[in-house]
Structure 1
Amino acid sequence: MLQKKNDIILDYHLGSGTTASTAHKMNRQYIGIEQMDYIETVAVERLKKVIDSEQGGISKSVNWQGGGSFIYLELKKYNQTFIEKIEKAKDEETLLHIWEEMKARSFLNYNVDIQRQEQCIEDFKALSLKEQKHHLCELLDKNQLYVNLSSLNDQNFECTPEERKVTQEFYQLKN
């Protein structure tokens, strides 16, 4: 597809930042989305080099001289924090503590019956640590890994004033 000067480029799998780098050199606005942990060491570092006049890719054909800027943000985690705790857990006791916290504060899948889970706790304890971790992760609603815009001011999500401000600015909302 031919890109026009005022187009905004969306790359929903940012990866190494090739699309963002090309868009930057073509003086286009761009949005890159990445869920992997390497964003800061790969894509961000690549875009810094582009700004410093890196000469790979289309640089010669567009007479790239460097410049510009970019912003990157991380969404406020919600259920993702439970997944990270589960992954780091070293024993069953820690996982059981996380389960208690999940019951009180997480968004569980709509079909999770907490009472049934409690009745089967001995079956859970009989699983290997890897299976226990997998089971707890499966109980979480994956659509609630991060705080939604509509929940930004909900005290349960503990968003800081700075997180609210950045989000409102990003969505161009009035305070």
Structure 2
Amino acid sequence: MTLLHAVVRYNPPLHILDTMILAHVDALEGQDCLGRTPLHVACGSGAEAQLIKSLVKAFPGACDIQDEDGRLPLHLACDTDCVLFEGDQTPRAPPPIDVVKVLLSGSMQSVLVEDEDEMNPIEYAIVSDLNIKIVKLLQKASMTLRRREAKTNKAAPKTTTKDDKPIAALPRSVLGYC
């Protein structure tokens, strides 16, 4: 764990965060023993939107780093029941919608990622009973990505099956011929 990890846990004033980032920009990429970046810690600790925005702006790549449990910062922001540090039972308020928007701006793809429990950020938002506007924002991001994926898949004709076998190699009965 870096000093930046420890500081963002307590939602510091932005001028302190900015000074730390300027002094040690490489700390943004640092991971603790569980693979969490400072952005993970800030999101899981309920940091303010401006602090999250500063971290994302300084290192947007952190939005795509999965921790040991397969969680991204967006998972942690949407899971109000997550406990990052042993013995920390401080109740956490739901994230403001601005936090979710900032994290999606860093990586919209993160909305689709499932953790080791096979849960994505949308599911955590629902289980955590987050504001319906946040759930709808996550769903909209998911649908946008799925539409893009569908357009890409339509553009390229399918030439193989799920098993990567050429379609022409399938028996006629499977292709619908008698």
TM-score, normalised to structure 1, is 0.29
Identify the structure with the greater strand proportion: 1
Q: TM-score under structure 2 normalisation? A: 0.29
> Which has more radius of gyration?
1
Higher helix share: 2
